[in-house]
Amino acid sequence: MVSRISINDIDPQSLSSVHIQCFFDDLFLGDATGFIVEFNRENYIVTNWHVVSGKNADTNMLLSPKTGAIPNKIKTRQHSSQGFGEWIEDVIDLYDDESNRRWIEHPSGQLVDVVAIPFTPTDQIKVFPLDMALVNTDVVMRPAMSVSIIGFPFGLSSTGWPIWKTGHIASDPLVDFDGRKMFLIDATTRGGMSGSPVFLRISSGYTTSTGRHLIGGPMVTKFLGIYSGRIRDDVEIGRVWKPRAMIDVFLNKK
């Protein structure tokens, strides 16, 4: 007899990540990751601008030049309300009937590679939004600290659950890289992980904002931001947009 998985068997940070497949009509364009956030009592899927636009956020070049297509819908794998550890496919249109984009961008547009897609779950879907309190976990971040990127490399999963990839903070997190609300990580990420949430998890040897140094204690988790791909194809240095960038997207809702 196979025992069922319960919510206590799964790490809480695995719950909010969502596998995304991008399509133009029935043409598959690629995999990506997003995660559920509840803001002002509404649910959103947070991911990257380049995921929904089908264009490189820096160069505006098509990500699928062979097809010339950009996504007009995404298919997401959501938790089923019928049983924990079961999944259901949900299709979300990226444009309305008048061809207006449905996602919310940052006030700076594609200069900030983060968007929020309004998401109304059906009765068949159970949502597990990211715990936004994790933004305020009192840990001073330093270069070389380990981070976890929780997504779906090449669309792969662990029986539906996201895969945790490990990296390290590669730039001083309080310094805005390239003058924008992001910092760098050194990680062997792969295609399909764009839009993944990034966390710091630590149980000892960290400093709080008051200068208190903790040697032991319970494990703590801090939400660091949204992964959006490497800065160049030939280096394993990737960008993480800080939570403030995401908040500014929500506040830009018309």
Reference 114, options 227, 251, 234; nearest CA is 227
How many CB atoms within 10 Å of residue 143?
14
Residue numbers of the domain that contains 105: 15-126
Task: Indicate if 157 and 201 belong to the same structural domain.
Answer: yes
Q: Is the pLDDT of residue 3 over 60?
A: no
Task: Indicate if 119 and 138 belong to the same structural domain.
Answer: no
Q: Are 182 and 170 in contact (CB under 8 A)?
A: no
Of 90, 105, 126, the one marking the end of a domain is 126
Reference 16, options 191, 152, 146, 136; nearest CA is 152
Q: Is the pLDDT of residue 44 over 50?
A: yes
- DSSP alpha helix (H) spans, 3-104: 49-53
What contacts 95, CB < 8 A, 6 or more positions away? 72, 101, 102
pLDDT confidence band for 1 (50 / 70 / 90) = very low
Reference 172, options 161, 160, 184, 180; nearest CA is 184
pTM to 2 decimals? 0.94
Of 89, 110, 126, the one marking the end of a domain is 126
Q: What is the pLDDT of residues 123-167, one digit of tens each?
A: 999 999 999 999 999 998 999 999 999 999 999 999 999 999 999
Task: Indicate if 93 and 140 belong to the same structural domain.
Answer: no
